[in-house]
Chain A
Amino acid sequence: MHFTINGQSHEVEPDIRTSLLDLLREHVGLTGSKKGCDHGQCGACTVLINGRRVNSCLTLAVMHQDDDITTIEGLGTPDNLSPMQAAFVKHDGYQCGYCTPGQICSAMGMLDEVKKGWGSHVSKDLTNPELTDEEISERMSGNICRCSAYPNIVDAIREVAGADA
């Protein structure tokens, strides 16, 4: 099968039982995406598939022939961080770091959803939501951080979104 992962072509023949997360971690060697629960409950495995955020533990690798997959490693490197990664460092939007790749991928997908005008449970205007702190918190609630860097995560995302606007 063929996957495009972080812009690179990969030919892998996964077991039909292999989740996309396990494909990345165990077969491609990209361990940045984390396994926290393997049940779609924690968000640590969040990656971007064709630009949309997805819990990679909840989707089988064989469903993604030719898909364009972006993991945390594809967003930036330690020496060349993306603006979102740099904002997480600046605002201390993490502690142990285990949920962090998922938080950052999720944040990227989330900002795109807001840009497209997708509403949420807390949106005052369902077709043209404004990115308030409440919106950020609501939309990031699929990503658990047990260290509880939530206020700092909101600070980081707000800063990046503001710079983008």
Chain B
Amino acid sequence: MSNSTNLTMDKPTPTSLLDTGAQGLIGEPLQRTEGPLKVSGNATYAAEYALEKVAYGVLVGSDFTLGKITKVDAESVKSLPGVIDVVTDFDSFARNPQQGGETKAPTQGVEDVAYRGEIVAIVVAESFEAARDAAHRVVVEHDAPKAEGRYDFETQRHKTDKPADDQIPAHFSQGDLAGAMAEAPHVLDVTYTTPSQNSAAMEPHATTAHWDEDGILNIYGAYQMPSSDKQQLAKALGVSASKVRIIARYIGGGFGSKLGIAPEAVAAAIAARQLGRPVKCVMARSQVFEATVRRSNTEQRMRLGADAQGKLTAIGHDSLVSNLDGEDFFEPCGMATHFLYAAENREINHDMVRLDWLLAGSMRAPGEAVGQLALECAMDELAEAIGIDPIELRHINEPDCDPETQVPFSSRQLTRCLDEGARKFGWDKRAAPGTTRDGEWLVGLGVAAAARGNMLQKSAAKVTINVLGKATVETDMTDIGTGTYTILGQIAGELLGIPLEDVEVKLGDTNSPPGAGSGGSWGAGSSGSSVYLACENLREQIAEKMGVAAEGLTLKDGHAIGDNRRVSLSELVGDRGLSAEGAIAPGKQEKDTRQSSYGAHFAEVGVNTTTGEVRVRRMLGVFAAGRILNEKTARSQCLGGMTFGIGAALTEDLIHDPRNGKLVNRDLAEYHVPVNADVPQLDVVFLEERDVHANPLHAKGIGELGISGAGAAIANAVYNACGVRVRDFPITLDKILDGLPAM
């Protein structure tokens, strides 16, 4: 019998072994298995490996925005006590991080500085203090820039190019949008803007690089996708991928910012190779802001046309986004607009404005997070214009299949989420805008739909049962706070009938089978399926040893039960143990069905009648994302997404100085992520669902569903509270004040 089981999702998987497992682990709100390590400070992050003779690297970023470097004045700092060297490599250093999942090197070459803060050198010293001091003193001389800087979106917004098609086509058109708009009795044509944002994961980007005696580069790195990061880094360094090992057992948050190899890894690896000793390099928080990745700012024109009853005949979603020269990624604002609502005439376009700002790339729910701010606020505005309830408007426009490709939805419970949420939240108490008052606060309710496309990525895992009857799961998949350690243990434990405490999950090491990595909400579905398949194979091996058919086998509490016998796994597998590999790959189901998770957000806010300050008073998210593998960690993912939504709606605004391209607010005191006092107790409800088209787990992605639409519910609640519609995010008090009713 082969000890590997592979599955390409060309067909639905009508049955799942998770429904017949006997261990009782799936779906339960179990505590994180790695929890005790994290709460006691014993989980080891990238900069926390005690390597012998490790040197400290501090990065030097350009303190000018454009121009060719003529000299990095290293000599003046090399004599400082403790300084070992100033290392730079104009050709090899990464200009900016790579995007997630790419196998090419990031854009390299730092001599011609492309944006302010670009990493141009690394100072290495015996201590962090010496390296930091020297890095601050390094003078980087440069020529005047050849061209005038493009620092201001407003002045550049008319010079666009059409980016290459990516996850979705850059441009899409169906029917006659202009004609439908001209004929529609109800039309909306409004423009929303969202600013650049930063993922602001709590752990700054960090790499400890160590070339061992076998010429292998060992990277302890804060990376979400080690399999592809390894290839990116190898190409950047000009070595074979087999010479690079990435270890990322714990990652202090990512949210997209750690998908691709970033400048610190390339710099640390080059310095370590040159100096012949390990180099540890942690970005300063200001460098995380300046030299990693931002979510693009967006300008989104929304056009909606509806008939007298509110049925949409036209949907137009035109987005302007920005990025550096030479970078293809465009913020796919219209991703969910493709399938969220029915309408015959549709245009969904993305155009690129080239700016000399840092890289734009993925941040939690690229596309949907900001795209649904626009779409879901526009739906609210349209409902108001027609004079119907916004939930009713969504009911009227619920499509029965994908409105563009006509393929069926794999599963979709959007309207149930809305109805269930309305009931639980007390939606019937919503009054006319500006009419509910609580002391000095105007109070309002808002709703928005949530949709996040479901994706499956290639992922592999190995599962072993040893002579003690204990299981080990190995894959280079990561847990960035998402709960991977726990859910992979649950899946293996359920299918093998082994208690969770006897399942060890080893993640984040590229010496293990390549996993999907953490991104795009595909982690649980993809890596979970690979573990499922490996365990399915093990079940067959166990059945064979038991002499029963796999279907007649029950595995529970470390025992195999079948044919009226109960035998311990320990005894069955013997001294040599059993192992199997599982691998999942996306297939025809991707095209044969439209796959997405859905939800509904409800928000109640207060707007201060004197100051215009907005406070979120309560929020509810109702979600349907296929099978929920762990109710506790899934709920936490949703809480996190909803809180990102609070930030996007009310506080987060990465400001680029239009005069010189400098980031104005490159720290956590000035870039405002929500703090504890900004977040009330949030409610999360999951609807029961199975998606047989998604994967054998019947689970869909959940990590980004919570952010999609969340900010729109808040914005719509602000309008309901005070009657002021702010279309320029974030909704800060200065944008509300003028429109408030007179005192």
| Residue ranges of A at the interface with B (Cβ–Cβ < 8 Å) | 15, 17-18, 22, 25-26, 29-39, 41-42, 44, 71-73, 75-79, 81, 85-86, 88-90, 92, 94-101, 104, 122, 133-134, 136-138, 140-154
Q: B636 near A144 (CB under 8 angstroms)? A: no
Q: A151 near B639 (CB under 8 angstroms)? A: yes
Would you call B549 an interface residue if the criterion is a C-beta within 8 Å of the partner chain's C-beta atoms? no
Most chain B beta-carbon neighbours within 10 Å: one of A25, A94, A122: A94
| Pairs across A and B, CB under 8 Å, 28 listed | A22-B128, A26-B127, A31-B41, A34-B45, A34-B252, A36-B202, A78-B37, A85-B36, A92-B32, A92-B632, A92-B635, A92-B636, A94-B35, A96-B203, A98-B252, A138-B677, A141-B676, A141-B678, A144-B673, A146-B199, A146-B202, A147-B636, A148-B639, A148-B644, A148-B679, A151-B679, A151-B682, A152-B636
Q: A81 near B40 (CB under 8 angstroms)? A: yes
Which B residues touch A140, using CB under 8 A?
676
A47 to chain B, nearest CB (A): 10
Would you call B681 an interface residue if the criterion is a C-beta within 8 Å of the partner chain's C-beta atoms? yes
B312 to chain A, nearest CB (A): 34
Q: B285 near A36 (CB under 8 angstroms)? A: yes
Q: B668 near A15 (CB under 8 angstroms)? A: no
Q: B133 near A17 (CB under 8 angstroms)? A: yes
Would you call B64 an interface residue if the criterion is a C-beta within 8 Å of the partner chain's C-beta atoms? no
By beta carbon, the residue of chain A nearest B250 is A97
A160 to B38, CA, bound (A): 18
Most chain B beta-carbon neighbours within 10 Å: one of A32, A36, A153: A36
With beta carbons under 8 angstroms apart, the residue of A44, A85, A142 that contacts B39 is A85
B518 to chain A, nearest CB (A): 10
A146 to B253, CA, bound (A): 8
Which A residues touch B668, using CB under 8 A?
36-37, 39, 41-42, 144
Q: Which of B45-85 contact A (CB under 8 A)?
A: 45, 47-48, 50
Which B residues touch A146, using CB under 8 A?
199-202, 253, 255, 673
Which A residues touch B201, using CB under 8 A?
96, 98, 146
With beta carbons under 8 angstroms apart, the residue of B40, B675, B678 that contacts A85 is B40
Q: A35 near B282 (CB under 8 angstroms)? A: yes
Interface residue tally on B, bucketed by range = 35 or more
Q: B481 near A137 (CB under 8 angstroms)? A: no
Main secondary structure of the interface of A (DSSP, over half): loop
Which B residues touch A90, using CB under 8 A?
31
A41 to B667, CA, bound (A): 8
With beta carbons under 8 angstroms apart, the residue of A30, A88, A147 that contacts B481 is A147
Q: A30 near B643 (CB under 8 angstroms)? A: no
A115 to chain B, nearest CB (A): 20
Q: B40 near A32 (CB under 8 angstroms)? A: yes
Would you call B129 an interface residue if the criterion is a C-beta within 8 Å of the partner chain's C-beta atoms? yes
Most chain A beta-carbon neighbours within 10 Å: one of B41, B201, B254, B639: B41
With beta carbons under 8 angstroms apart, the residue of A73, A144, A145 that contacts B41 is A73
| Residue ranges of B at the interface with A (Cβ–Cβ < 8 Å) | 31-32, 34-45, 47-48, 50, 127-130, 132-133, 199-204, 250-255, 282, 284-285, 480-483, 632-633, 635-637, 639-640, 642-644, 667-669, 673-682
A133 to B676, CA, bound (A): 10
User: Top 6 A-B pairs ranked by shortest CB distance?
Assistant: A32-B41, A98-B252, A96-B481, A95-B481, A97-B38, A148-B643
With beta carbons under 8 angstroms apart, the residue of B34, B47, B676 that contacts A153 is B676
Which A residues touch B36, using CB under 8 A?
78-79, 81, 85, 89
A152 to chain B, nearest CB (A): 7
Q: B129 near A17 (CB under 8 angstroms)? A: yes
With beta carbons under 8 angstroms apart, the residue of A73, A96, A134 that contacts B252 is A96
Most chain B beta-carbon neighbours within 10 Å: one of A71, A79, A95: A95
With beta carbons under 8 angstroms apart, the residue of B285, B481, B674 that contacts A97 is B481
B338 to chain A, nearest CB (A): 28
Which A residues touch B48, using CB under 8 A?
25, 31
A45 to chain B, nearest CB (A): 11
Which A residues touch B667, using CB under 8 A?
37, 39, 41
With beta carbons under 8 angstroms apart, the residue of A94, A100, A154 that contacts B676 is A154
A25 to B45, CA, bound (A): 12
A27 to chain B, nearest CB (A): 9
Given known contacts A34-B202, A92-B632, A98-B202, A81 and B39 CB-to-CB distance under 8 angstroms = yes
A32 to B639, CA, bound (A): 25
Q: B681 near A151 (CB under 8 angstroms)? A: yes
Q: B681 near A89 (CB under 8 angstroms)? A: no
Instruction: Known A-B contacts: A92-B32, A144-B668. Give 7 more (CB < 8 A).
Output: A38-B284, A85-B39, A94-B35, A96-B250, A148-B644, A151-B639, A152-B639
Q: A92 near B31 (CB under 8 angstroms)? A: yes
Q: A95 near B676 (CB under 8 angstroms)? A: no
Which A residues touch B130, using CB under 8 A?
15
Q: A143 near B676 (CB under 8 angstroms)? A: yes
B633 to chain A, nearest CB (A): 7
